[in-house]
Amino acid sequence: MKKYKIGVVVAFLLTGVTVFAGNEDRAGEAGASELLINPWGRSSGWGGANTASVTGVEAMNLNVAGLAYTNNTEINFTNTSWLGGSDISINAFGFAKKMGESGGVLGLSIMSMSFGELDITTVENPDGGLGTFKPNYLNIGAAYSKNFSNTISGGLVVKLITESISNASASGFALDAGVNYVTGDNDRLKFGIALRNVGPTVNYSGNGLSTRMNVQNSEKELTVSQRSNDFELPSLVNIGLSYDFYLMVDSTESETPSEHRLTAAANFTSNSFTSDQLRIGAEYAFREMFMLRAGYILEDNVSDEELTRTTSTGPTFGATIEVPFGKSGTKLGIDYSYRVTRTFGGTNAVGLKLSF
């Protein structure tokens, strides 16, 4: 039976690798690139390397199978200052609820991206002076995840995607699916694979694609509507592995091997519309109350300012303080992460997590 379960995971892995592969020649051709942004404070602290070990609300962004490990109820909120100095902010809210002992876990996530106020410009008024408008990106995801056995979990996310400016908008939907496999003493070894952002093409519509034109040899005006090209979504595959090391092990403790945990993780991301990425990271935890993280995102030419396709230079850092309240099991966590970027002032994220 154990060999069968491993075979299922391997088959799913090979299927994903066959369907999706990185394609540098298509870089920039996909739309809805906000789907590639990690808006959460914990997993972004080690570069999203924890595809195999992520749990709770944040699993809906990396590998929804980890949502199945939500103990009861979890609420998460994170504010991200994207590319410091650019006035771009991201607010993410997530909710997860376990449906009974034998049931699965339902999850809801909302990510809103704000760009501040921009000047309205036209061909006749390229310098503005006509007022301002606010672009808005909004992604809403509904998820379900379940433990199918002591070692295998899986899940699915349905996402609604909307992008809008003052006179044009686009909307579409995408699907994510993920599988996790855990094994070893105290579930130390974890494998994870997720397909993300799979969906139909999307296009823009609205008055912004219409212009007024004079009819030749006539004083009449007509409204001419232009059609926008469809764009594809930035689909990808995440394949992750993690292992927990327990330091200064106390042999008298069977359920809690040690107060000190060190988790090493790695993730390979196969992108359909840009370079593939290798993410590596580590997390140190003391009594699961104080956590420090660091990661690095490897990509072709990541250190070359002329050839790189990303603003990230690789390093990421993060920390968490999580405090229990009473004997009810309620916990409040404060998360922080920093991602080093080549331009602007880096990306900072601050989050709150409530588990009860």
Q: What's the rounded Cα separation, in Å, for the pair 278 and 47?
A: 10
Is residue 32 pLDDT above 80, yes or no? Answer: yes
Compute the average pLDDT of residues 98-105: 87
Q: Are strands 88-98 and 189-198 parallel, antiparallel or unpaired?
A: unpaired
Q: Read off φ and ψ for residue 192, nearest 5 degrees.
A: -150, 145
Q: For residue 177, how many other CB atoms are within 10 A of its CB?
A: 18
Which residue ranges form the domains of the chain, and what is each CATH number?
Answer: 2-201+232-355 (2.40.160.40)
Tell me what pLDDT residue 275 has: 85
Q: What's the rounded Cα separation, in Å, for the pair 263 and 293?
A: 9
Is residue 147 pLDDT above 70, yes or no? Answer: yes
Q: What's the rounded Cα separation, in Å, for the pair 61 and 269?
A: 13
Global pTM? 0.87
Compute the average pLDDT of residues 51-58: 96
Query: pLDDT tens digits for 273-293?
Result: 888 999 999 999 999 999 999
Q: Name residues whose C-beta falls within 8 Å of residue 168's C-beta, 6 or more positions apart in sequence.
A: 204, 205, 206, 207, 208, 209
Number of alpha helices (DSSP H) and beta strands (DSSP E) in the chain? 2, 19
Tell me what pLDDT residue 176 has: 98
Query: pLDDT tens digits for 178-205?
Result: 999 999 888 999 999 999 999 999 999 9
Four-CA torsion 210, 214, 218, 220, nearest 10 degrees: 50
Please tell me which residue, 131 or 161, carries the higher pLDDT value.
161
Query: pLDDT tens digits for 311-355?
Result: 888 899 999 999 998 788 899 999 999 999 988 899 999 999 999
Tell me what pLDDT residue 21 has: 45
Q: What's the rounded Cα separation, in Å, for the pair 102 and 223?
A: 59
The DSSP annotation for 276-328 comes to -EEEEEEEEEETTTEEEEEEEEEETTTT-TTT-S-SEEEEEEEEEEEEEETTT
Q: What is the 3-state secondary structure (H, E, C) of 60-115?
A: HHHCHHHHHHCCCEEEEEEEEEECCCCCEEEEEEEEEEECCCCCCEEEEEEEEEEC
Contact 24, 299 (CB under 8 A): no
Contact 309, 275 (CB under 8 A): yes
Which residue carries 């034109």 as its tokens? 213
